[in-house]
């Protein structure tokens, strides 16, 4: 396998698939927040469309839970365990919170381009828009005086705001950094709890305006702190110090000190914790390996985690079943494909157990079908769009779903080019299977995704999330012995010298990170040539990945190239260069490549999407890829 991968990488032809903007390849639909990679902000901070219950919010009387599922709000009766659909429509609804008297819910509404805050009166069913600017709004909650606290990017960075519902006045509160969100005010109105940036949980004394850090960490990507009903305790989930799991912890705000571990670690990914109104239980949601979220609760005093299954789901409108079969000319039987399904109001639909994904550049919600798939849909017209890789034009069909009935839709794809028949294979040589998202994916989840994009080779790279070095158990994982071929590689990330992608190596390079910005290895003075030598010694390939954000030779404002790239290029230590990637400008990177080739050294061209597959908000893998002629 190693020699095959090395040969494939050495004989590359890179297909640049998207018209590049001025800087980098990926552009965002939501309003830009500060500087930095917007795809991370969207993946970590914006809501997730999910199968199964998410965002649990207990009612003040303890009789019901408001949850999110399939992009709508549902009310779960805790006695019968029956979930009844509360909202509908085209946009996605999420993150509900109750008013003190239980008569209203405030929640987030998201149309794939903007978010805004809605209040629903549960007695009348009437909805009203509370806050709607052209910026991102997040995480509304009621204060004890009936005001609404929320996060908004109205002033640039996403900060904490308060809406006085009597006067309509919106007041910003002091915030630091790019993102502050998840505001919650204590019942006495004297404390404000919120998450600040991606690295700390903060409690503010509203009388003195003094902040105290409750917890500080690195890349708290899915952390959502929850304030107890008495305002004296906080529960939050943070990444496990070693391993890939998350821990649910309990801390006192009156007596600062070590937090109590309630549950977590291993394969646990407890998300969106919420307190029962009596303070006895902590609810949370967690996705299983089947990519379906389920409700759980644990006593606030500690103990065993209890799963709380929903007995049945009662939709607001009659439903039927859509059965979709996809085929491709010249291939026997059904084929895997990338599928998007919208109901009559434009709301995305997806099957239970299939992770939905959102392309932040096009606004498309999609999932992968193995060739035949069934899903529930509201009665009425549905629109189905099917794609498969780059050489297959998308096909769109409409169908009518009848109440209680099943409609069969068969879509035949017509490739404009059969790459394999012409002797070519394609691969995405840089993506990440898990990278801080709400799902825990395994190698068995990659097959349908790669097949749905008509990729022959996938090389997911294990990479650090600051001081956490995850997915080591998959390095060297043996694939199924059939296409698509999967072989894990590694991304070694010295931010100062430049990131290196390793493909076709049998041993990890240590340390994964070093140089300025890293606590332990911050003064490590090793060079990237050690990484390239590590790959060469194993018959693998080392590639400088996403090296140029713009044309460094034609754009005076272009950021500098990786510090060691030129030196390694002159000395012949650059084995490969990633020409096309999510983050970078292909034309600028190609200019760098041509200059390296002109030095007389053979530098292979590679391409990879740098997709984080366990995000909801992520582009499709293979949107940038490498084509190789195998003879």
The pTM is what?
Answer: 0.93
State how far the Cα of 579 lies from the Cα of 587, in Å rounded to an integer. Answer: 8
Query: Which pLDDT score, from 0 to 100, does residue 24 have?
Result: 55
On whether the CB atoms of residues 48 and 618 are closer than 8 A, the answer is: no
Token code pair at residue 81: 């365990």
21: DSSP letter: -
CA angle, residues 245, 250, 256, in degrees to nearest 5: 125
Of 13, 11, 14, 32, nearest in space to 23 by CA: 32
pLDDT at residue 423, as a whole number: 94
pLDDT value at position 8? 32
CB 33 within 8 A of CB 47: no
- 309-355 pLDDT, tens digit per residue, is 999 999 999 999 999 999 999 899 999 999 999 999 999 999 999 99
pLDDT given at position 78: 98
pLDDT at position 480 is: 62
DSSP code string of 441-457: --GGGHHHHHHHTT-SE
DSSP states along 466-508 = TTEE--GGGTT----SSSSEE--EEEEEETTTEEEEEES-SS-
Give the pLDDT confidence score for residue 190 in this predicted structure.
Answer: 96
| Segment holding 429, helix H or strand E | strand 424-431
Strand locations in 343-413, DSSP E? Answer: 348-349, 357-359, 364-369, 372-378, 380-387, 395-401, 406-413
| Closest to 568 in 3D by CA, of 525, 514, 529, 513 | 529
- What ranges make up the beta strands (E) of 485-623? 485-486, 489-494, 498-503, 541-544, 576-580, 604-607
- In which residue ranges of the chain is pLDDT below 50? 1-23
Residue keyed to tokens 């909801």: 616
CA 224, CA 122: separation in Å to the nearest integer?
A: 26
> Which residues, at least 6 apart from 579, have a Cβ–Cβ distance to it below 8 Å?
14, 16, 586, 589, 590, 593, 605, 606, 607
Q: Which of 88, 114, 41 is nearest to 363 (CA)?
A: 114
Q: How far apart are CA 345 and CA 482, in angstroms?
A: 41
Radius of gyration from C-alpha coordinates of the chain: 25
Does residue 271 have a cis peptide bond before it, meaning omega lies within 30 degrees of 0? no
Residue 28's pLDDT is 86
Quick one: pLDDT at residue 12? 36
């Amino acid at each position: 396998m190693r020699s095959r991968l090395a040969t494939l990488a050495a004989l590359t032809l890179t297909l640049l698939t998207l018209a590049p903007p001025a800087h980098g390849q990926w552009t965002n639909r939501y309003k830009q927040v500060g500087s930095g990679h917007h795809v991370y902000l969207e993946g970590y901070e914006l809501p997730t469309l999910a199968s199964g219950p998410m965002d649990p919010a207990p009612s003040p009387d303890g009789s019901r839970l408001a949850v999110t599922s399939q992009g709508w709000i549902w009310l779960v009766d805790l006695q019968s365990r029956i979930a009844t659909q509360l909202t509908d429509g085209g946009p996605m609804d999420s993150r509900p919170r109750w008013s003190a008297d239980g008569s209203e819910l405030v929640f987030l509404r998201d149309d794939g381009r903007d978010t805004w805050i809605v209040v629903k009166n549960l007695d009348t069913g009437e909805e009203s828009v509370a806050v709607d600017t052209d910026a991102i709004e997040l995480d509304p909650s009621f204060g004890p005086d009936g005001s609404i606290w929320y996060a908004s990017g109205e002033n640039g960075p996403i900060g904490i705001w308060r809406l006085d519902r009597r006067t309509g006045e919106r007041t910003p509160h002091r915030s630091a950094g790019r993102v502050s969100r998840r505001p919650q005010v204590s019942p006495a109105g004297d404390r404000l709890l919120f998450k600040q940036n991606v690295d700390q949980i903060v409690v503010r004394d509203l009388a003195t305006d003094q902040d105290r850090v409750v917890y500080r960490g690195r890349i708290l990507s899915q952390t959502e702190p929850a304030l107890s009903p008495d305002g004296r305790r906080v529960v939050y989930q943070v990444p496990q110090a070693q391993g890939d799991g998350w821990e649910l912890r309990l801390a006192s705000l009156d007596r600062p000190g070590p937090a109590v571990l309630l549950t977590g670690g291993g394969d646990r990914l407890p998300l969106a914790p919420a307190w029962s109104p009596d303070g006895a239980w902590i609810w949370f949601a967690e996705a299983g390996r089947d990519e379906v979220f389920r409700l759980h609760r644990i006593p606030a005093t500690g103990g065993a985690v209890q799963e709380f299954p929903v007995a049945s789901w009662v939709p607001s409108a009659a439903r039927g079943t859509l059965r979709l079969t996809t085929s491709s000319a010249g291939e026997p039987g059904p084929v895997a494909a990338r599928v998007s399904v919208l109901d009559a109001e434009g709301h995305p639909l997806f099957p239970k157990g299939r992770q939905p994904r959102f392309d932040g550049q096009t606004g498309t919600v999609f999932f992968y079908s193995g060739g035949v798939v069934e899903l529930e849909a509201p009665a009425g017209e549905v629109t189905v769009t099917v794609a498969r890789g780059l050489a297959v034009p998308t096909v769109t069909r409409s169908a009518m779903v009848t109440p209680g009935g099943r409609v069969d839709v068969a879509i035949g794809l017509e490739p404009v080019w059969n790459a394999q028949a012409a002797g070519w294979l394609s691969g995405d040589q840089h993506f990440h299977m898990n990278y801080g998202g709400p799902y825990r994916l395994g190698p068995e989840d990659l097959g349908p995704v790669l097949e749905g994009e008509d990729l022959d080779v996938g090389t997911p790279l294990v990479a650090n999330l600051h001081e956490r070095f995850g997915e080591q158990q998959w390095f060297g994982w043996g694939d199924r012995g059939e296409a698509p071929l999967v072989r894990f590689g590694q991304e070694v990330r010295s931010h100062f010298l430049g990131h290196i992608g390793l493909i076709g190596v049998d041993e990890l390079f240590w340390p994964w990170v070093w140089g300025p910005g890293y606590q332990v290895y911050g003064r490590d003075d090793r060079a990237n040539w050690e990484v390239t030598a590590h790959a060469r010694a194993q018959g693998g390939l080392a590639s400088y990945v996403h090296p140029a954000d713009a044309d460094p030779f034609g754009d005076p404002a272009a950021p500098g190239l990786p510090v060691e790239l030129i030196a390694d290029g002159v000395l012949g230590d650059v084995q490969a260069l990633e020409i096309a990637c999510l983050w970078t400008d292909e034309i600028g990177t190609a200019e760098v490549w041509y200059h390296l080739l002109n030095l007389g050294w053979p530098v292979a061209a590679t391409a990879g999407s740098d997709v984080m597959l366990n995000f909801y908000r992520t582009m499709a893998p293979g949107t940038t890829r490498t084509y190789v002629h195998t003879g």
